[in-house]
Structure 1
Amino acid sequence: MSNTNKSEPTVCVLNEDSEYFVKKPEFSHQFDSIYSQREAITLPLLKQAIRRKWPDTTFKDQLLLLTTDPTLTISVCGLVFKESKKRPNVIKQFQKDRSLTTLYKDDCKYIDPEDTIFLEDSHSRVQLIGNISPDLYVTGVPLAVKGHVEEAGKLTVEDVTTLQLPPQKKVAMSSSAFSIAFLSDLRIGSTDHDPLRLELATDYLSSLNAGLESSSSSSSSNTNIHLVISGSSLTPTRPIERQFKEFSAYAPQKIVSPTQELDEVVSRLCESMTVALIPGGKDPSNHFLPQQPFHHLLLPQSFKMSTFIPATNPHRERVNNMLVIGTSGQNLNDITRFTTLSPLDALEKLLRWNHICPSAPDITGVYPFSDTDPFILDETPSILFAGGMKQFEWKIVEEGDLRCLLLLVPSFSKTGDLIIVDPKTLIPRVVNFNVGLSAENAEHLLEDGKGATGSALLGHKGVDESGKTNQGADDDVVIDELDENEMEDGEG
């Protein structure tokens, strides 16, 4: 692979997607193998959690050994199974339109008061009642419970516990300044895509790496950037989604040009920084997780760059030894459809469940792995993110020496938000490219050479106490960087 970079970035990025690559797809396996692998790895850890938290309870190694005794307090562990009354019927949906792309509707909650929750292992299953809410779980979650078995054979729950956070490797901070930037959901080719806005973001990132940022910003100059692009970078046209005969009569330029534009944007960014490109739900990749990287024929210029990282979804990498893990958001979207959890709460649950996508294969489509469950977290990342979200939110989880930033990366095509994270503090800041700017004025500024450093081009967003962003009143501010004391108030 040739290197046509203008400058060699000093950010060292190690791609650890090997466990997500599907080299020889084989679909003859059943999905129960994934659950078996999940049990084999997580249940011994849950047993340790039970001994730590409930040492005085009677532990039952198998659900099959449960006996009816309301006076005996027991502890058991297994995987959650949830019966959702409002869950769409896959067979009926496929018979209706020969497609499953609209099986789950956006912004629709499949929650019902009559939903029931069970705990199961490889031998048996028991219904859980009492101090546990089905609205907070999806099928596949590793869980330990304490309670007693009623005469009806149901387990009345008194308390629950999950896995401990996995260990985290200590990272020696690099002496050279660097930042990790996040873009998501570019949707090139859709009506939401604004080429000018994307060009401004590209100019801005390039200027950061070249030390050309406006003096009004408090960021250090010549900051090395690693950029992660997640979510749907491309959006298929309607004829592609429907029928081939419509597609064959469609103007080829309207189909090819979005891919060419993405290739131009990514290859240009790769000239000054490392760029990881993660496929999303609308991109030309497989539908099920893990999604495989973009094909090299789609992005010929980008694949020539040594700084380009064609990533899988989920994606796992080490940036100057910092572990960064994330997805394009399908896992969070599916969990929030079947629970009352907010996206940020759901992301924290994934961390505490030690699993990136417990909803697979029940709700979220997944490749039928036969000998592993690659979505299990064996190490606490420094950053756990999800792309394609409606708004920017964040939270820092701290337990002992462990510290992890939970980050919701908003849709750039909807919000115009670019997120930049300081690796030393794990505090993110948002740069907005969507404030009161006409295309005519922006083109004039670009022609004048002001690029993305002109203060009129960039918006300002503040961070409230919940970690959410609010549109600022002062449009002259290029970037809002609160001091650490103010930002700490937004962690929670």
Structure 2
Amino acid sequence: MAIMETDPATMNRRTATTEDLGKLQENFVVKTRDYKQQYAHLYYMRLMLMQPLVLAQAKRKWASLDPKAKYVEKILDVQQGEISYLVGTIYMDMKLKPNILDDITKDHWIAAQPDRPKYIDDTDSIYLEDESGRVKLTGVKITNDFFVTGVVMGVLGSEDPSGDFKVVDVCYAGHGPQEQHSLMETDEEDKHIALVSGLGIGGNDFKPLELDLLSEYLTGEIGGVKEQTNCTNIVRVVIAGNSIVTPPPVEDDSKAKKYGYDRSTFVTAPTMIFDSFLQEVCSSIDVDLMPGESDPSSVTIPQQPIHPALLPSTRQYSTFHSVTNPYWGSVDHVTLLGGSGQTIDDIYKYVKSDNRLEMAAKTVGWRHMAPTAPDTLWCYPFKDRDPFIMSQAPHIYFLGNQDKFATEMVTGADGQRTRIVMLPSFSSTGTIALVNLRTLECKTVSFSTTKPKN
């Protein structure tokens, strides 16, 4: 047996400062669950908060382009033939989109239609609406771009004889303000934040050995001196949802054991495995745990933190932080915003494109990470705020449980820089992402216990 070469000197993990983002993160916390209010409050607050931002961009973009164009405050006040611009909320009229009112009017014995991968159809129409009414949008600009319900947008054009608004250009709120962090301009050694999603413990794709490798990598117990030194530069781990998967019930009774339980199908409780994994990692590094669609948390977004009582061994560590989904964080003055993927999964159904990275970049430009909530994405009916508005541009914006890894650096009009990271499911790919807090560069690390094909 070969002996691994090790450095006799003790290796210490680098440290990083964290900052409480206050209201940004508190906006995702639901303190009292009251479902009596209507979702109209959420749409109203979104429009009221976003309208001034979009209007400022519209004036900035179109004032010199067409001096004759004037701003019309209410959609119903548009005059036919006059060049004008409006600001309102997009509504997509899609016949394939699920409608709860249609569902409850059907007889209860009629089976519901299966979930569609896409809602798009050739008969779809796009409308812009405000508190006064709505108008149908037409034009080449509309057909050549993609839109989703809930985005607040400005449009430039004129009303045609049929009463539709022919659009020649559109604009959005754009990237939010961003504080430049000092690490980018220094020669200090690199620090990394590890992003992982979709551990899938208990699922069909779960590989216990790969989870052990991940644990040993994050705690610096694997590899030689070089690998262990690199691990000391990881200052925080963020787990972006879908960590636990409850095995589905046996559908075929013939495959179930007639007497007692079948030992061959026995699976240790996923929460126990997850608790043991987190305990090992938290003994060495700070961990932020977000819930996902399959985790034991609220169904509606923002999902509330996973209760520490489910993780009895891990909760004893001060390095363990159970957070919401979505989640705002700050490490060494680098702001992070991320989700476990439901927001992009829902936007995906509205558009023809399959490029999820492009969709994520669009949300940064829209300054809203979950525009389809509450239309087709379940969310809490907020009445005094819309927590999904990006009031500032994050330095790192990540979305978990995607089909593959992808990353891009997007830049705002005022120099804002945001690193977008699409995280794949670890149980399917064995891949995690490391983001450099100094340069915002991103790379992947993959683990595999299967023999590579020749």
Following superposition of structure 1 onto structure 2, how do residues 47-446 of structure 1 map, counting pairs within 5 Å? Answer: 47-55=55-63, 56=67, 57-69=69-81, 72-90=82-100, 104-105=115-116, 108-130=117-139, 131-133=141-143, 136-173=146-183, 175=188, 177-207=190-220, 213-215=223-225, 220=230, 222-239=232-249, 257-341=269-353, 342-399=355-412, 400-434=414-448, 436-437=450-451
Following superposition of structure 1 onto structure 2, how do residues 451-462 of structure 1 map, counting pairs within 5 Å? Answer: none
Partner in structure 1 of residue 8 of structure 2: none
Aligned amino acid, residue 422 of structure 2: L
Q: Offset of 1:401 from its aligned partner?
A: 3.0
Change in Cα spacing, 1:297 to 1:222, as seen in structure 2 (3 Å) is closer
CA RMSD of aligned residues (A): 3.0
Distance 1:417 1:262 in 2: 18
Contact preservation (8 Å) 2:246, 2:270: no
Change in Cα spacing, 1:171 to 1:250, as seen in structure 2 (3 Å) is farther
Contact preservation (8 Å) 1:416, 1:432: yes
Q: Offset of 1:320 from its aligned partner?
A: 1.3
> For residues 366-421 of structure 1, what are the alpha-carbon distances to aligned partners after superposition, in whole Å with 9 as ceiling and x for unaligned?
00001000000011100001000010000001234311101000000110101111
Contact preservation (8 Å) 1:15, 1:316: no
Contact preservation (8 Å) 1:233, 1:280: yes
Contact preservation (8 Å) 1:135, 1:339: no
> For residues 201-253 of structure 1, what are the alpha-carbon distances to aligned partners after superposition, in whole Å with 9 as ceiling and x for unaligned?
1101111xx7x753566974631421111121111222399xxxx9xx98999
Change in Cα spacing, 1:395 to 1:373, as seen in structure 2 (3 Å) is same
Distance 1:99 1:296 in 2: 41
Distance 2:47 2:145 in 1: 22
SS across alignment from 1:238: coil
SS across alignment from 1:262: helix
Distance 2:108 2:182 in 1: 54
Change in Cα spacing, 1:143 to 1:103, as seen in structure 2 (3 Å) is farther
Contact preservation (8 Å) 1:411, 1:417: yes
Q: Offset of 1:135 from its aligned partner?
A: 6.5
Q: Offset of 1:109 from its aligned partner?
A: 1.5
TM-score relative to the length of structure 2? 0.86
Contact preservation (8 Å) 1:146, 1:159: yes
Contact preservation (8 Å) 2:217, 2:231: no
SS across alignment from 2:192: strand
> For residues 287-331 of structure 1, what are the alpha-carbon distances to aligned partners after superposition, in whole Å with 9 as ceiling and x for unaligned?
110001111211112211111110111011001111000000000
Q: Offset of 1:14 from its aligned partner?
A: 3.7
Partner in structure 2 of residue 12 of structure 1: 17
Aligned amino acid, residue 239 of structure 2: I
Contact preservation (8 Å) 1:93, 1:103: no
Contact preservation (8 Å) 1:9, 1:272: no
SS across alignment from 2:163: coil
Distance 1:219 1:24 in 2: 46
Change in Cα spacing, 1:195 to 1:255, as seen in structure 2 (3 Å) is closer
Distance 2:110 2:318 in 1: 39
Distance 2:144 2:44 in 1: 23
SS across alignment from 1:20: coil
SS across alignment from 1:225: strand
Contact preservation (8 Å) 1:117, 1:134: no
Aligned amino acid, residue 157 of structure 1: V
Percent identity, aligned pairs only? 31
Change in Cα spacing, 1:171 to 1:205, as seen in structure 2 (3 Å) is same
Q: Offset of 1:82 from its aligned partner?
A: 0.5
SS across alignment from 1:300: coil
Q: Where does the alignment leave 5 or more consecutive residues of structure 1 unmatched?
A: 1-5, 438-458, 460-472, 476-492
Q: Where does the alignment leave 5 or more consecutive residues of structure 2 unmatched?
A: 1-10
Distance 2:85 2:318 in 1: 53
SS across alignment from 2:27: helix
Distance 1:254 1:14 in 2: 44
Distance 1:93 1:21 in 2: 31
